[in-house]
Amino acid sequence: MNSREAERAPSALTPPPDAIPPVRHPEAPAPGELLGAHYDHCFGCGGGQPHGLHLQARAGDGVSITAEFTVQSAHQGAPGLAHGGVLATALDETLGSLNWLLRTIAVTGRLETDFVRPVPVGTVLHLQAEVTAVAGRKIYSTAVGRTGGPDGPVAVRAQALFIEVMVDHFIDNGRPDEIKAAMADPDQIRRVRAFEVNP
Ligand SMILES: CCCCC/C=C\C/C=C\C/C=C\C/C=C\CCCC(=O)SCCNC(=O)CCNC(=O)[C@H](O)C(C)(C)COP(=O)(O)OP(=O)(O)OC[C@H]1O[C@@H](n2cnc3c(N)ncnc32)[C@H](O)[C@@H]1OP(=O)(O)O
């Protein structure tokens, strides 16, 4: 661990004293509205990934999200049980969907996950996430996943730090073929605009 990583490690998920409460963007989707995929080939939410999670997220009140994901046999780690990395992906995707409510583009910097109960294949995981604080480009958030219904027992939970980026983050770093295809797709451009405060 270099000195910069060591600096971040233990307290990186605790908002600094100058953090402020999150503000729901006035043009954010209404509570209850289905958000749709941010990218059709996203492993978390896209319809174009046969073995993806196909996670469906809805806007909640304030800066919160609810989402559902059904564990498929392609998501196993142990026989008949969801892979932990897949569950972390479901949490990451749900937390990432909070971007729609802030109308910012942000990527996961840090994600800490607690696996509380095993999750069998066929389970519908009911996820809830909210932004707890914002400090400059840093967005602090938490999520839980429950089984057996939205009020069922907690199976997984996460704390995360997302970092706001410009759309250039994707254009500069993505593989050129996929970027070219995304930029040629008017639906994709519309979706990206929905994340940007100043399109
Ligand atoms: C037109 C084509 C485009 C198509 C795109 C399609 C859709 C786009 C729209 C929306 C997409 C958005 C969300 C999607 C929703 C869900 C998906 C799930 C989300 C993910 O799955 S996303 C993938 C995984 N994710 C990454 O691939 C990030 C890789 N990474 C980096 O790209 C850099 O690392 C970056 C940008 C994070 C930071 O780099 P940077 O140079 O901009 O900023 P810098 O390092 O200065 O950090 C600024 C302040 O954050 C603190 N900080 C930074 N990183 C930290 C860490 N890890 N832990 C603790 N603190 C950290 C610093 O300590 C400093 O704090 P302070 O200001 O207090 O000093």
Instruction: Return the SS3 of 47.
Output: coil
CATH number, domain of 36, equals: 3.10.129.10
pLDDT band of 194, cuts 50, 70, 90 = confident
Q: Give the list of residues 6+ apart from residue 102 with CB closer than 8 angstroms, or none.
A: 22, 23, 24, 25, 28, 63, 131, 134, 139
Average pLDDT over residues 8-24: 87
Ligand 1 pocket check for 38: Cβ under 6 Å? yes
Residue 152 lies in a domain: yes
Residue 101 lies in a domain: yes
pLDDT band of 3, cuts 50, 70, 90 = low
Ligand 1 pocket check for 165: Cβ under 6 Å? yes
Total structural domains within the chain: 1
The yes-or-no verdict on residue 9 having pLDDT over 60 is no
CA–CA–CA angle 127, 8, 45 (5° rounding): 25
CB 35 within 8 A of CB 29: yes
List beta partners, residue 65.
59, 129
In this structure, the residue with its CA closest to atom 54 of ligand 1 is 109
Q: Which atom of ligand 1 is nearest to the CA of 44?
A: 17
Alpha carbons within 13 angstroms on the beta-carbon side of residue 47 total 2
User: What pLDDT is recorded for position 5?
Assistant: 59
Q: Which atom of ligand 1 is nearest to the CA of 173?
A: 32
- ipTM of the assembly? 0.96
Residue 167 lies in a domain: yes
Centroid of ligand 1 to alpha carbon of 152 (angstroms): 32
Domain that holds residue 103: 29-193
Instruction: Please state the pTM of the whole predicted model.
Output: 0.94
User: What pLDDT is recorded for position 199?
Assistant: 43
Average pLDDT over residues 16-27: 96
- pLDDT tens digit sequence for 41-58: 999 999 999 999 999 999
Q: Across the chain, what does the average pLDDT equal?
A: 94
